[in-house]
Amino acid sequence: MSASLPAPTLVTDQAGLTAMLEALEGARVIGVDTEADAFFSYHQKVCLVQVTAGEQDWIVDPLADLDLAPMGPMLADPERVKVFHDAEFDILLLGRSHGFRLAGLFDTRVAAAVLGSTNPGLANVLEARFGVTLDKSMQRSDWSKRPLSDKQLDYARVDTRLLPRLFEELLAECTERG
């Protein structure tokens, strides 16, 4: 899937973060995910934040001495939908690591389960709905190591790429079913 996509924007400095947030100002639906070093560190931390809106993907690197505080208002804005898949860990980690509070949250895993999916993992849901097969080989990667490999960056960006589209489809079905 990712071979046909434009390269994501890697955000490693404050100017890049500011540019991303300016680009997101008009976005009403924003896909978000995180990667952490949970399998490699007792005190896990956010190692990446992936963001997708429209046709643009960003990979934010908080380990590049980047202050993520400017993301707080966007994440807390109840008028903008932040789409996560299986959001519990992401919300916990973003709150503990950066003090973020989220509003306007839509969890596609919860929606897929409510709609009857017996296996609502992201890879299964995307395969069933869009015929997209995800390569999950980097899922337990050490996200704290730098530089990140091309395979890690590709994995990270694909995790949010289809979330806004999945949100629209799941929301429509949930609304239709009441």
Is the peptide bond between 120 and the residue preceding it cis, with omega within 30 degrees of 0? no
Copy the structure tokens of residue 137: 């080989």
Question: In this predicted structure, what is the pLDDT of residue 5?
Answer: 81
Position 38 pLDDT exceeds 80: no
Question: In this predicted structure, what is the pLDDT of residue 106?
Answer: 98
Position 42 pLDDT exceeds 70: no
Which 3 state secondary structure label does DSSP give 12? coil
What is the per-residue pLDDT across 66-83, written as a single tens digit (0 to 9) for each? 999 999 999 999 999 999
Position 2 pLDDT exceeds 70: no
> In percent, how much of the chain has pLDDT > 70?
94
CB neighbours of residue 149 within 10 Å = 11
Position 168 pLDDT exceeds 80: yes
